[in-house]
Each structure stands twice: as structure tokens, then as C-alpha cells.
Amino acid sequence: MHKIVEKLLNGVVISCQAYEDTPLYGSQYMAAMAKSAQMGGADGLRACWPQDIRAVKAACDIPVIGINKKFGDGDPLDEIFITPSFASAKEVIEAGCDILALDCTIRECRPFEELKELLCQIREAYPDVPIMADLATLEEAVKAEETGCVDIISTTLAGYTRNSCEQKTEGPDIELVRQIKKACSLPVNAEGRIWELRDLELVLEAGADLVSIGSAVSRPHLITERFVNYNKKHYSR
């Protein structure tokens, strides 16, 4: 097992991302957010785009999982946007990420053989960079492990793809974590819809080897929205 992966086992990763239509968009804000996460005891960070990864790496000394989101005009349920190509992977690896994360789902637009070819291409070019497989189903987890090119399996996309949206859970997909742990030998990162300490407890009980938390920590407008919506429900009774 790669030493960087070992550092994250039994740990908490905080995803520090902001989009252009939010007030915290910008590398300087992401660096500050990452420093705050490290101050709070985070074991690792997840950052998007080369410029933010460089800023976070300069500000912090814990492992950084890098992604490179490339959005198109298609339906988000069908679109591969998390580090979708070798070129997008190259950008964030050369920006300094310690672990590369990419979409490892199996889609009509990209069957398994194409995914395997991409993973092998990245592994050959950057053999020392561990790869995290962001996926949505048990089948995808098994197939990703079979490639021999993946170091961590992550439930990042569970509920957010065409073949998993009907099974989307309100909180984290506990059952998927449990199934992957039974079927695979690679470390499992539980990610997605972890909002409460009870959610964290459940994914740990299901066997997660590490946990990534994003919106519940690093997206203030969504945190605020949850409280506002609950407040509105209270007064509408």
C-alpha cells in the first residue's frame, strides 16, 4: 500500500471546493478553507482544479486528493465530469496533488474497456501517484479493483449517476459501503451526504476505512439553507 494512502486510513478528509457562482470561489479562499480544515485536525484534503491544488499545497502539509472537474452541457446524471480524461488528470497531478481521484463509473458513453485504458495510461505515466476511484455501484467497485490500477475505492458518485439515482439515499449510502467492503480488498472511502455525526458513525460501522466530508463543512450557503428550510417547516406547521 502506498504510504500516502496509509496516512489517510482511519482518517477524515475535508473537500474544499467552490464553484464560480458562489462567494468563496477563488484559490485564496480555498487555501484559507484548507488551512481551517487542517487546524481542525483533518487528515487530508480534496481540492479541485490545478490553481486551487497549488494554493492548497502551498498552505497545508497534509495529503491532497486532486480532481479536475470539466462540466459540459449534458445531463449531470449522464456526464463524466470528475477528471474525465488523461489531459485533465495530467493537469492536477502536475499541480502537485498527492492522490488523483477520477470518475470510475461505467457508462454508455464510456464502457469499462475505455475506463481501463485510461487508468492504465495514467498509471504508466505516473506510477507513484495513487488513484482514488470515484464510483456509484458495487459492480463498478469490483471492476475498478480488477484493473489493478486503483488504490482507493470511493462512493463519491452513489446516487448521482443514471444507474444509481433511483437508489439515492437521503444520507450516505451505508449499504454500498458495506457491500464494497465485503467484495473488495482495497480501502473504501465513504463520501457523499455525510451531514451529521450519526452519518459518520453509520459509515464507520459499515466498514469505511476513511471518510470524506464536503458540503457539511465547506459550503456555507448549503449549511445555512438546511437550517433555514428546517426553520420554515417549523413555522408552517
Chunk the chain into consecutive blocks of 10 residues (it has 237) and report each block's average pLDDT, rounded to whole numbers.
96 97 97 98 98 98 98 92 98 98 96 98 98 98 98 98 95 98 98 97 98 97 96 91
Report in angstroms the alpha-carbon separations of 83 from 11, 140, 179, 202: 24, 17, 25, 29
What pLDDT was estimated at residue 21? 95
pLDDT score for 74: 87
Q: What type of residue sits at position 112?
A: F
Q: What's residue 237's pLDDT? A: 81
For the whole model, what pTM was predicted?
0.96
Q: Where are the beta strands (DSSP E) in 52-128?
A: 64-67, 99-103
Q: Give the pairing of strands 131-134 and 152-154.
A: parallel
Query: How far apart (Å, rounded) are the C-alpha atoms in residues 199 and 222?
Result: 17
